Amino acid sequence: MTQVFHRHCHSDLPFATRGEGAYIYDQSGKAYLDASGGAAVSCLGHNHAGVRAALHAQIDQLAYAHSSFFTTEVAENLASRLTDKAPGSLNHVYFVSGGSEAVESALKLARQYFVETGEPQRTRFIARRQSYHGNTLGALAVGGNAWRRAPFSPLLMPAEHIAPCYPYRDQQPDESLHDYGQRVANELEQRLLTVGPETVIAFIAEPVVGATAGALAPVEGYYKRIREICDRYGILLILDEVMCGMGRTGTLFAHEQDGIEADLVTIAKGLGAGYQPIGAMLASDRIYDAISEGSGFFQHGHTYMAHATAMAGSLAVMDAFEKDGVLARVAPMGEALDQRLRNRFGDHPHVGDIRGRGLFQALELVHNRDSKKPFDSRSKLDKRIKAEAMQLGLMCYPMAGTIDGQRGHHILLAPPFIINEEQLDELTDKLYQAVDKITREALKEYPD
Ligand code: PMP
Residue ranges of the domains in the chain? 16-34+326-445, 52-322
**36-54 average pLDDT score:** 97
**335-341 average pLDDT score:** 98
Residue whose CB lies within 8 A of the most ligand 1 atoms, among 269, 399, 410, for a mutation test: 269
- Exposure class string for 107-142: b at 16+ Cβ within 10 A, else e: bebbbbbbbbbeeeebebbbbbbbbbbbeeebbbbb
Residue whose CB lies within 8 A of the most ligand 1 atoms, among 243, 264, 410, for a mutation test: 243
Residue whose CB lies within 8 A of the most ligand 1 atoms, among 36, 212, 242, for a mutation test: 242
The residues, any chain, with a CB within 8 Å of residue 102's CB and separated by 6 or more, are: 96, 242, 266, 267, 268, 279, 280, 281
What pLDDT does residue 4 have? 64
Quick check: helix, strand or coil at residue 410?
A: strand
Distance 236 CA to ligand 1 centre (A): 20
Please write the tens of the pLDDT for every residue from 183-232.
999 999 999 999 999 999 999 999 999 999 999 999 999 999 999 999 99
Quick check: helix, strand or coil at residue 220?
A: coil
Residue 176's Cβ-count burial label (10 Å; 0-12, 13-18, 19+) is: exposed
Which region, left, alpha or beta, applies to residue 45 given φ > 0 means left and ψ of -120 to 50 means alpha? left
Please write the tens of the pLDDT for every residue from 273-321.
999 999 999 999 999 999 999 999 999 999 999 999 999 999 999 999 9
Average pLDDT value over all residues in the chain: 96
Distance 362 CA to ligand 1 centre (A): 17
Can you name the CATH fold of 52-322?
Aspartate Aminotransferase; domain 2 (3.40.640)
* Nearest residue by C-alpha to atom 14 in ligand 1: 99
Rounded Cα–Cα distance for residues 169 and 131 (Å)? 15
Query: Can you spell out the DSSP letters for 114-182?
Result: HHHTT-TT--EEEEESS----SSHHHHHH---HHHHGGGGGGSPPEEEE----HHHH--TT--HHHHHH
Residue whose CB lies within 8 A of the most ligand 1 atoms, among 133, 249, 264, for a mutation test: 133
Q: Which residues line ligand 1 (CB under 6 A)?
A: 39, 98-100, 103, 132-134, 206, 210-211, 240, 242-243, 268
Q: Given pLDDT bands bounded at 50, 70 and 90, which one contains residue 160?
A: very high
Q: Given pLDDT bands bounded at 50, 70 and 90, which one contains residue 147?
A: confident
* Nearest residue by C-alpha to atom 13 in ligand 1: 99
Is residue 48 within 8 Å of residue 274, measured between CB atoms? Answer: no
Distance 341 CA to ligand 1 centre (A): 26
Task: Kindly give the number of the ligand 1 atom that is closest to the alpha carbon of 100.
Answer: 16
What pLDDT does residue 437 have? 98
Please write the tens of the pLDDT for every residue from 250-270.
999 999 999 999 999 999 999
What pLDDT does residue 377 have? 87
- Whether the complex's predicted ipTM is more than 0.95 is answered with yes
What pLDDT does residue 404 have? 72
Task: Kindly give the number of the ligand 1 atom that is closest to the alpha carbon of 244.
Answer: 3
Cα dihedral 423→429→434→440 (10° resolution) = 160
What pLDDT does residue 9 have? 59
What CATH architecture applies to the domain 16-34+326-445? Alpha-Beta Complex (3.90)
Q: Given pLDDT bands bounded at 50, 70 and 90, which one contains residue 406?
A: confident
DSSP assignment, residue 380? Answer: -
Distance 253 CA to ligand 1 centre (A): 16
8 pLDDT above the threshold of 70: no
What pLDDT does residue 96 have? 98
Rounded Cα–Cα distance for residues 57 and 212 (Å)? 38
Q: Given pLDDT bands bounded at 50, 70 and 90, which one contains residue 19?
A: very high
DSSP assignment, residue 351? Answer: E
Task: Kindly give the number of the ligand 1 atom that is closest to the alpha carbon of 39.
Answer: 8
Residue whose CB lies within 8 A of the most ligand 1 atoms, among 95, 132, 209, 241, for a mutation test: 132
89 pLDDT above the threshold of 60: yes
Distance 101 CA to ligand 1 centre (A): 9
Please write the tens of the pLDDT for every residue from 352-371.
999 999 999 999 999 999 99
Distance 40 CA to ligand 1 centre (A): 10
181 pLDDT above the threshold of 80: yes
Residue whose CB lies within 8 A of the most ligand 1 atoms, among 36, 41, 97, 100, for a mutation test: 100
Distance 211 CA to ligand 1 centre (A): 9
Distance 34 CA to ligand 1 centre (A): 19
What pLDDT does residue 306 have? 98
The residues, any chain, with a CB within 8 Å of residue 237's CB and separated by 6 or more, are: 202, 203, 226, 227, 230, 260, 262, 263, 264
Distance 13 CA to ligand 1 centre (A): 22
Task: Kindly give the number of the ligand 1 atom that is closest to the alpha carbon of 243.
Answer: 5
What pLDDT does residue 67 have? 96
What pLDDT does residue 209 have? 97
What pLDDT does residue 10 have? 56
Distance 242 CA to ligand 1 centre (A): 6
Quick check: helix, strand or coil at residue 364?
A: strand
Distance 369 CA to ligand 1 centre (A): 30
What pLDDT does residue 368 have? 95
What pLDDT does residue 14 have? 94
* Nearest residue by C-alpha to atom 5 in ligand 1: 243
Rounded Cα–Cα distance for residues 433 and 385 (Å)? 10
**403-429 average pLDDT score:** 93
